Structure 1
Amino acid sequence: MSWVLFLSGMLLAGILGLSRGSVRRYVVAGALGLLGAIPAFPLVHAVGYLSRESLGPTLLALIPFAPHLVLVPLGGVLALGLAHWGGRAAGFGGVLGGGMGFLSLMAFLQGPGHLVALRPLLGLMEGLVGLALLLPFLALAWLRRRQAWLWLPLGVALGLGAFSWLNSPQGHTYFPRMAGYYKLVLPAEPGAEEALVARFNQGLEELNQVRKEIGLPPLKPIQNLSDLKEGRLPQEVAQAGYRLLRPEALSYGAVALLLFLGFMVGSGLWLLRHPDLAEASDLRSGLVLAGVALSVFPAFDATEFDLGKLVEGWPFLVNFLDRAWPPNLAQPQSGIYPLQSVASEMLLTVEIALVGTLLAALFALPTSFLAARNLTFRNPVLRVFFYLMRTFYNVDRGVDTLILALILVAAVGLGPFAGVLAMAIHSIADLGKLYSEAIENVDKGPIEALESVGASGSNVLRWAILPQVLPLFVSYTLYRFEINFRVSIVLGLVGAGGIGFFIKGAMDAGHYDQMVIGIIAIVLVVNLIDFASSWLRSRLV
């Protein structure tokens, strides 16, 4: 598996190199990604007695236990340093830095399990939060040097205040996992592993008796900690701060590091052969690529992305298709008419979207003029309304329609009324923002011409602004109606009526051959609305 990941990184670099663009940026991206993942991404798993006691130490945290791992960050620094010189030096840096980092990492990953001790670094995470709050103020002080006297003290005060509060008992009450979150991995005391193995074997007979009573297979005596197949330590050992380090249990950090190392080596080989593939902006481009990659790896892990689960669930999909086709359009003998129900609920869904969009447009139209900067900046009173409306729009847009529907269903009961209210409330902000931006971008010529002849504000609005923005308003409203129709389908799943409510009921009852009628109807109506709305917008704008 480790070799496959490393070679995959090399292959990716080779494919990108075929474009004949800058390859040095890939060496930089691989090195920066490597250096970013080393202190932040969990490398392997270390388990205790309970599953919640498991942790994923980073490569940086493992260096006290396995000092040879320091070659991995040194390889990244070497590659990054030689990349500055460009040419074959950058290629040599990528190959040498990636190669020695890969050999060091492989030596650790292929090793046996070990009993390790943990040493929490108190105050580290609290300090990082304080530093993160300080950095924007340092940037402001750098960009606006004349105001540095204001931004620097404010940033330092905010950073130190956050660090002090988070490091206090009250802060740990609200963020209990932050205290000692980052832990260094140290070798266990001499003889601790042997004592644990002997202790496990002595209590094995009693443990197997318990396992037999609950229907579990018996365990065999172990020679070392690698033989602990279930990977759990005795409770008292785990409570003493020990963990069982399992190098073979890779975390997403190991995947990232192996890919970055392979990417560095592959890019370095390209540069050794074509040393002219470099640009002046390689550092900036490499930094952007590394930042994107570093955000992707933890996102895949957090979402538990696993194609194997899809393979395991394939029989369910096959069974669903078998039960869903052909569609059950009607059962006259039972008095069940799914096609008629779908037609009625689809019409209701369109009506929910129509009423919700209309109400939102009616409220967004007048408020958008108060949210337009070019109409309010001259009057202090109107300026206050401008900030109030923009704040309302931002808050309203931050609350999803589904959340509003859940709240309103509880308030007014099941049915389409809750869906209409939720949709209208959320759409006010979206339409209001679009309307106000259209007003801000109007041509100033007609406005100045009417003002020069003494026209009143209402006349300027009627004859100079509205003719320019009304086609855009209609176009935005039609587009919002398309979105609201799709949203109304989802709202039906939480009891707000419409075709979504029909689909949820059919699925809960196992009537997949009725549910598929609703899905087909949605596809047809969505395409119909899209084509009609696009045609109308093309005529208006």
Structure 2
Amino acid sequence: MSLALFVAGFVLASLLGLGRGSVRRYLVGAALGILVASLAFPLAGAVGYLSREALGPTLAALLPTYPLLVLVPLAAALALALAHFGGRLAGIGGLLGGGLGLFVLLGFLNGPAHLVKLRPVPGLMEGVAALALTLPFLALAWGQRKRAWLWLPLGVALGLGAFSWLNSPMGHTYFPRMAGYYKLILPAEPGAEEALVRTFNEGLLELNRVRQEIGLPPLSPIQNLSDLGEGRLPQEIAQAGYRLLQPASLGYGAVALLLFLGVLAGTGLGLYVRPGLEEPSDLRQGGVLASVVLSIFPAFDATEFDLGKLVKGWPFLVNFLDRAWPPNLAQPQHDIYPLQSVASEMLLTVEIALVGTLLAALFALPTSFLAARNLTFQNPVLRLLFYLMRGFYNVDRGVDTLILALILVAAVGLGPFAGVLAMAIHSIADLGKLYSEAIENVDKGPIEALESVGASGSNVLRWAILPQVLPLFVSYTLYRFEINFRVSIVLGLVGAGGIGFFIKGAMDAGHYDQMVIGIIAIVLVVNLIDFASSWLRSRLV
């Protein structure tokens, strides 16, 4: 699999070069990706006794045990340095970097599992967090060099203060996992693995007796720690700070490194064959590409993306479809009429969205004028109101409708009223922001013409601003109604009434043939509202 990942990256780089555009940017992005992944992404797995004791050491953390791994980032750094010169020299750097990195990495990943010792690095993660807080101020100091005297000391002071607090007992109380989070992987003492294997085999009789009492199968004697059938270390070994390093268990860092190395070698070959495939902005664009791609790998890992789970769950989907079709429209003999219930709940869902959108629009319309920069920055009082209103919009938009619905259901009880309130409160900020931006973009000509003849502010608003923004206001309100209809379906799942409440009840009862009627109705009504709203907006704007 490791070699297949490298080949996939190589093929991807070859396909990118077919467009005859610059490939040096991809070489730069791959080299930067290797450098960052070596420092921050887990390369392999290391297990202890409990699942929470497992960790994924990075390539940098493994250097005390595998010093040759340093050649991987060094090869990437060489390729990055030669990329600055461009042409065939950059191509040679990519080929050498990709080939050397692959050779060293495969040597590690194909190695056997063995015992290692952990050594936490105190203060490292605290320093990284403090640096992350400092970077925005450093960026401000670089972008606004006239005010660097303000931003630079402020950022440094904030970073030092954050580091001191995070590294204190109070900081570790609130962020306990940060203390010693980054651990170096050291080789176990000579003879430690043999002694632990011997100790494990000697206590195997008593261990199997306990396992038999609790209904677990017995364990067999082992020759080395790799023979542990459960893939875990004995408890006493793990508590002593040891872990079983398993190079073959690829972390997402290994996947990223192999793909990057493949791209590095592929782009290197492309540049060597056609040295003109480069542009002056390659270094900057390569950095942007690396940033985007590097954010994807942790995201896939954090979301536990695994198509294998979908394959395993396929029988459930087949069973669901079998039980959901054909739809059960009515059972008169049992006095059950799902189609009628769906029609009633769908109408209620539309009404929830309609009332919630209307209330939001009524409140957002007057407040949007206070949130428009071009109408408020000529007066200190109005300027203060501008900041307050924009701050309210930002806070309101930060609280999701579903969270508001959960709170309001607890306050006013189950039913559509909680859904209406939640939808209206959240929609105020969205509509207000759209309205205010429309006001800020109005044509200044009519405003200046009325002001030149001494018209009052209300007349300017009535005759110069409103005629320009009202069609946009109506369009934005219709668009928000579409969104709120979809949101109201989800709100029903938490007890706010409507078709979502019907679907949840049918699912909980296992009546999939009734639930599918609600799904079909949602699809039909969503398309109907979308076409109607699009037609109205085309007539208004």
TM-score by length of 1: 0.99
1:387 paired to 2:387: yes
Q: Which residue of 1 aligns with 2:63?
A: 63
Q: Which residue of 2 aligns with 1:430?
A: 430
CA drift at 1:211: 2.5
Match of 2:115, SS? strand
For 1:237-256, list aligned pairs within 5 A.
237-256=237-256
CA drift at 1:17: 1.4
Q: Which residue of 2 aligns with 1:354?
A: 354
Q: Which moved more, 1:75-84 or 1:416-425?
A: 75-84
CA offsets per residue over residues 280-300 of structure 1, 9 Å max, x none?
A: 111111111111110000000
Show structure 1 runs of 5+ residues with no match: none
Q: Which residue of 1 aligns with 2:13?
A: 13
CA drift at 1:118: 1.1
1:163 paired to 2:163: yes
Q: Which residue of 2 aligns with 1:142?
A: 142
CA drift at 1:261: 0.8
Q: Which residue of 1 aligns with 2:485?
A: 485
CA drift at 1:92: 1.1
1:532 paired to 2:532: yes
Q: Which residue of 1 aligns with 2:470?
A: 470
Q: Which residue of 2 aligns with 1:192?
A: 192
Compute the RMSD of aligned alpha carbons: 1.0
CA drift at 1:206: 1.9
1:519 paired to 2:523: no
Q: Which residue of 2 aligns with 1:153?
A: 153
Give, as a single letter, the amino acid of the residue that structure 1 aligns with 2:49: Y
Q: Which residue of 2 aligns with 1:413?
A: 413
Q: Which residue of 2 aligns with 1:104?
A: 104
CA offsets per residue over residues 474-533 of structure 1, 9 Å max, x none?
A: 000000000000000000000000000000000110111100000000000000000000
Give, as a single letter, the amino acid of the residue that structure 1 aligns with 2:199: R
CA drift at 1:151: 2.1
Q: Which moved more, 1:415-424 or 1:22-31?
A: 22-31
Show structure 2 runs of 5+ residues with no match: none
Q: Could you tell me how far apart the structure 1 residues matched to 2:145 and 2:320 are?
A: 65
CA drift at 1:213: 3.0
CA drift at 1:168: 0.6
Match of 1:61, SS? coil
CA drift at 1:230: 1.4
Q: Which residue of 2 aligns with 1:342?
A: 342
Q: Could you tell me how far apart the structure 1 residues matched to 2:60 and 2:114 are?
A: 17
Q: Which residue of 1 aligns with 2:293?
A: 293
Q: Which residue of 2 aligns with 1:35?
A: 35
Match of 1:439, SS? helix
Give, as a single letter, the amino acid of the residue that structure 1 aligns with 2:472: L
Q: Could you tell me how far apart the structure 1 residues matched to 2:440 and 2:145 are?
A: 32
Match of 1:60, SS? coil
Q: Which residue of 2 aligns with 1:78?
A: 78
Q: Could you tell me how far apart the structure 2 residues matched to 1:179 and 1:429 are?
A: 39
Q: Which moved more, 1:419-428 or 1:73-82?
A: 73-82
TM-score by length of 2: 0.99
CA offsets per residue over residues 24-69 of structure 1, 9 Å max, x none?
A: 1111111111101001001111111111111110000001100110
Give, as a single letter, the amino acid of the residue that structure 2 aligns with 1:33: G
CA offsets per residue over residues 72-100 of structure 1, 9 Å max, x none?
A: 01110111111111111111111111111
Aligned residues: 541
Give, as a single letter, the amino acid of the residue that structure 2 aligns with 1:416: P
Match of 2:186, SS? strand
CA offsets per residue over residues 189-217 of structure 1, 9 Å max, x none?
A: 11101101111111122222222333333
Match of 1:474, SS? helix
For 1:175-214, list aligned pairs within 5 A.
175-214=175-214
Give, as a single letter, the amino acid of the residue that structure 2 aligns with 1:22: S
Q: Could you tell me how far apart the structure 2 residues matched to 1:307 and 1:16 are?
A: 26
Match of 2:118, SS? strand
Percentage identity across aligned positions? 84
Match of 1:231, SS? coil
Q: Which residue of 2 aligns with 1:495?
A: 495
Give, as a single letter, the amino acid of the residue that structure 2 aligns with 1:18: L
CA drift at 1:116: 0.8
Match of 1:304, SS? coil
Q: Could you tell me how far apart the structure 2 residues matched to 1:247 and 1:65 are?
A: 12
CA drift at 1:236: 2.2
CA offsets per residue over residues 297-331 of structure 1, 9 Å max, x none?
A: 00000000000000000001101111111111000
Q: Could you tell me how far apart the structure 1 residues matched to 2:518 and 2:231 are?
A: 48
Q: Could you tell me how far apart the structure 2 residues matched to 1:296 and 1:12 are?
A: 17
CA drift at 1:241: 1.4
Q: Which residue of 2 aligns with 1:307?
A: 307
Q: Which residue of 2 aligns with 1:378?
A: 378
Q: Could you tell me how far apart the structure 1 residues matched to 2:528 and 2:161 are?
A: 57
Q: Could you tell me how far apart the structure 2 residues matched to 1:134 and 1:502 are?
A: 50
